[in-house]
């Protein structure tokens, strides 16, 4: 294994193997497994969990890391090809990324969607261009439409709390002051389908996930014995649910139009997960969210602070599964 860019690159068995390695490292720490290894981390966007857990993961395995935050203590990076660089960016990724890669043994890169051209984002044009410049093991720490570390952590969390493989998993749109990227909803949808679950995407009109995203999930479901459907009916969606996974994302038609999105979402403030959302769910149905989450916007305090919430376990599992990924990429 040389790259961890998309959970779809791995079969169910390979995912299960990674999760078993994660569990093994939890049960039997290997504090010297990555001694002498260096992870280079590039954050084009803010982060709390990813920044802390990647550094801690290396440290737990005896390795080290360095962090580069373009535009903050480091030059802004240009990503476009062929441009005359007379603007704010002093350095191009075509130099910056190979240079950083030459200093370390593996890299992790976080780069949100451009949010302008849906086809370009779906094709992961920016992340693919960056990845092509890095001749070292590479981890996707969130790209335009993917977040495989989050997806792997969530899969482990579902296993940890005993959610059945075929259980009902509701990816539930919730509101937010502004449009957010598709990375987590796309990765989560695929993950649940890949795990073999009965997946329902529940979202208002205008917030359908892109057809390519849905098709990828349906293919994963077909291979794993699961299913993928979508609805605008919240009551139907959550009925019998084992998991309600709340997530904010922007409207996709039009895509990347902040004004249109705001106009749409001003009527959607009631798209919030509360205890009422679990009225017809299974007993002890779980609440999930990738964090950060806006309390009393996306979800009520009551749910977040109550026994349904497994968001802290999800976040802790980021560390756990990323250690497995790092071990697989770097251990001799």
- Tell me how far, at minimum, the Cβ of 316 lies from its own copies, in Å: 4
The CA distance from 204 to 195, in Å, is 25
CB 203 within 8 A of CB 232: yes
- Tell me how far, at minimum, the Cβ of 285 lies from its own copies, in Å: 20
- Burial of residue 42 (CB within 10 Å: 0-12, 13-18, 19+) is buried
Q: Which two tokens stand for residue 98?
A: 């190979």
- Tell me how far, at minimum, the Cβ of 205 lies from its own copies, in Å: 22
* Nearest CA among 233, 226, 229, 163 for reference residue 193: 226
- Tell me how far, at minimum, the Cβ of 313 lies from its own copies, in Å: 9
Element holding 302 (H helix, E strand): helix 301-305
**Residues of this chain that bind its own copies (CB under 8 A):** 31, 35-36, 38, 40, 43, 46-49, 51-53, 55-56, 59-60, 62, 64, 66, 68-70, 72-75, 78, 81-86, 90-92, 94-96, 98-100, 102-104, 177, 291-297, 301, 304-305, 311-312, 315-316, 319
- How wide is the angle at C-alpha 303 spanned by C-alphas 198 and 218, nearest 5°? 20
Q: Which two tokens stand for residue 111?
A: 């780069």
Strand partners, 28: none
Which C-beta is closer to its own copies: that of 99 or that of 235?
A: 99
How many Cα atoms occupy the beta-carbon half-sphere of 53 within 13 Å?
Answer: 21
Report DSSP state, residue 296: T
Which C-beta is closer to its own copies: that of 65 or that of 224?
A: 65
- Tell me how far, at minimum, the Cβ of 29 lies from its own copies, in Å: 8
**What DSSP string runs through 36-103?**
T-EEEEEESS--SHHHHHHHHHHHHTT-EEEEE-BTTTB--EE--SS----SS--EEHHHHHHHHHTT
How many Cα atoms occupy the beta-carbon half-sphere of 94 within 13 Å?
Answer: 6
- Tell me how far, at minimum, the Cβ of 281 lies from its own copies, in Å: 22
Which C-beta is closer to its own copies: that of 96 or that of 226?
A: 96
- Tell me how far, at minimum, the Cβ of 100 lies from its own copies, in Å: 6
- Tell me how far, at minimum, the Cβ of 299 lies from its own copies, in Å: 10
- How wide is the angle at C-alpha 253 spanned by C-alphas 252 and 254, nearest 5°? 105
- Tell me how far, at minimum, the Cβ of 36 lies from its own copies, in Å: 5
- How wide is the angle at C-alpha 137 spanned by C-alphas 131 and 139, nearest 5°? 65
Could you give phi then psi for residue 170, rounded to 5 degrees? -105, 115
Which C-beta is closer to its own copies: that of 74 or that of 282?
A: 74
CB 278 within 8 A of CB 302: no
């Amino acid at each position: 294994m040389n790259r961890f860019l998309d959970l779809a690159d791995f079969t169910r068995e390979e995912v299960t193997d990674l999760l078993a390695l994660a569990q093994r490292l939890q049960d039997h720490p290997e504090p010297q497994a990555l001694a002498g290894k260096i992870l280079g981390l590039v954050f084009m966007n803010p982060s709390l969990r990813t920044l802390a857990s990647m550094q801690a993961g290396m440290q737990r395995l005896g390795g080290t890391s360095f962090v580069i935050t373009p535009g903050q203590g480091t030059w802004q990076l240009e990503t476009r090809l062929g441009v005359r660089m007379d603007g704010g960016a002093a350095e191009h990724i075509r130099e910056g990324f190979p240079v950083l890669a030459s200093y370390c043994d593996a890299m992790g890169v976080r780069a949100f969607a451009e949010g302008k051209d849906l086809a370009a984002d779906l094709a992961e044009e920016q992340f693919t261009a960056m990845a092509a410049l890095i001749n070292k093991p590479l981890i996707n720490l969130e790209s335009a439409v993917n977040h495989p570390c989050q997806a792997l952590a969530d899969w482990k969390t579902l296993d940890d709390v005993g959610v059945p493989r075929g259980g009902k998993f509701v990816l539930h749109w919730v509101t937010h002051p502004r449009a957010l990227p598709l990375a987590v909803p796309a990765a989560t949808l695929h993950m649940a389908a890949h795990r073999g679950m009965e997946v329902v995407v529940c979202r208002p009109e205008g917030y359908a996930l892109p057809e390519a995203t849905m098709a990828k999930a349906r293919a994963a479901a077909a291979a794993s014995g699961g299913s993928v459907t979508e609805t605008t009916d919240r009551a139907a969606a959550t009925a019998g649910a084992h998991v309600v996974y709340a997530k904010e994302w922007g409207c996709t038609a039009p895509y990347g139009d902040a004004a249109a999105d705001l106009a749409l979402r001003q009527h959607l403030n009631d798209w919030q997960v509360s205890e009422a959302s679990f009225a017809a769910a299974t007993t002890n149905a779980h609440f999930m969210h990738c964090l950060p989450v806006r309390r009393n916007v996306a979800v009520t305090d009551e749910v977040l602070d109550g026994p349904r919430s497994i968001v802290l376990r999800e976040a802790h599992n980021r560390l756990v599964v990323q250690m497995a990924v790092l071990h697989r990429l770097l251990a001799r």
